Amino acid sequence: MQSETTNLEAGTVTKMDMLLDQTRMRINMIGPKTTTSVLFLTDGGRDRMVMLDTAKNEYTEIDKATMDKMAQQMQGAMGQMKAMMDKMPPAQRAAMEKAMKGQMKGPSAAATLEKTVYSAKGGSSVNGFACTKYDGVSAGQKVVDLCAAAPSVVHFAPADFAVFDHMKKFTESMQQMAANSPMGGMDLYNFTDPGYQGFPVAQTRYSGGKAVTKTELKSIKSASFSDADFSLGSAKKREMPGMMEAAKPPSR
């Protein structure tokens, strides 16, 4: 899949190529100044997310064990934050909650934070793809409009999204942490049930009522991939900040 995202404020364009099969995904992002790649790989029974910096010929990665460890650490950190806030004087606590926009009140805050709700607005077409227009509203404000095409229009079969099931399991611990934490009201993207029908072939994001980015699918086609298409080449691994510590087993 080839698409383009325009930063409507800066006027810059980032091109994106997505290579997708049942067990692997690679997204190459070509911006005005940089080219980066994000890969999700499942080879050898080891699921991992890889960030490849082609300019530096370096990559960083997060595997399932590290993802689970990060989720545990974030849960602990947010628990400590809540405990600290519980000891604050009421006025100071209220000021902190206001600064955090209510997201640190605890799991019950999820009920007060609104997810994006989509409403169908009729048919349209984008770059030859017939699609249905949707407006997305959160907390009374429009945050996105998009046009979603039926799987048959973009020649997708359910099996083509199998890699997203791997990704969902890969991030499960992080998703559960978010759902059961003070961040539980965050509108996390769900590949299997995003809130509208179809695949978005065009999408405009809004902030404060103003359009900030616009993304369009330019082309899509079937292809045969080899391992080389998902290779990291000669790139050297670079540890992410904090990853070495997160990967260490707990002390006894």
How confident is the model at residue 251, as a pLDDT?
45
How confident is the model at residue 176, as a pLDDT?
59
Structure tokens at 211: 């359009």
How confident is the model at residue 188, as a pLDDT?
36
Write down the residue that tokens 């606590």 correspond to. Answer: 93
Question: At CA 220, angle to CA 27 and CA 132, rounded to 5?
Answer: 105
Say how far apart CA 212 and CA 74 lie, in whole Å: 30
Write out the DSSP string of 100-151.
TTTTTS-GGGGGTSPPPEEEEEEEEEETTEEEEEEEEEETTEEEEEEEEE-T
Say how far apart CA 175 and CA 184 lie, in whole Å: 9
**Domains annotated on the chain, with CATH:** 2-247 (2.50.20.10)
- List, in order, residues 6 or more apart from 163 with CB less than 8 Å away: 20, 21, 22, 23, 24, 25, 40, 42
DSSP-derived pairing of the beta strands 117-126 and 58-63: unpaired
How confident is the model at residue 14, as a pLDDT?
95
- Nearest Cα to Cα of residue 43 among 242, 229, 239, 237: 229
DSSP-derived pairing of the beta strands 236-237 and 58-63: parallel
Q: Quick check: 136 and 142 in contact, CB under 8 A?
A: yes
Q: Give pLDDT tens digits along the chain (252 positions).
A: 999 999 999 999 999 999 998 889 999 999 888 889 999 998 877 888 899 998 899 999 988 777 777 767 776 777 777 778 888 888 887 777 777 654 444 443 443 446 899 999 999 999 999 999 999 999 899 999 999 999 889 888 777 778 888 787 777 765 655 554 443 433 334 444 578 999 899 999 999 999 999 999 999 998 899 999 999 999 999 987 654 444 444 444
Say how far apart CA 154 and CA 129 lie, in whole Å: 7
How confident is the model at residue 155, as a pLDDT?
86
- List, in order, residues 6 or more apart from 42 with CB less than 8 Å away: 23, 24, 163, 166
- Nearest Cα to Cα of residue 81 among 70, 90, 69, 93: 93
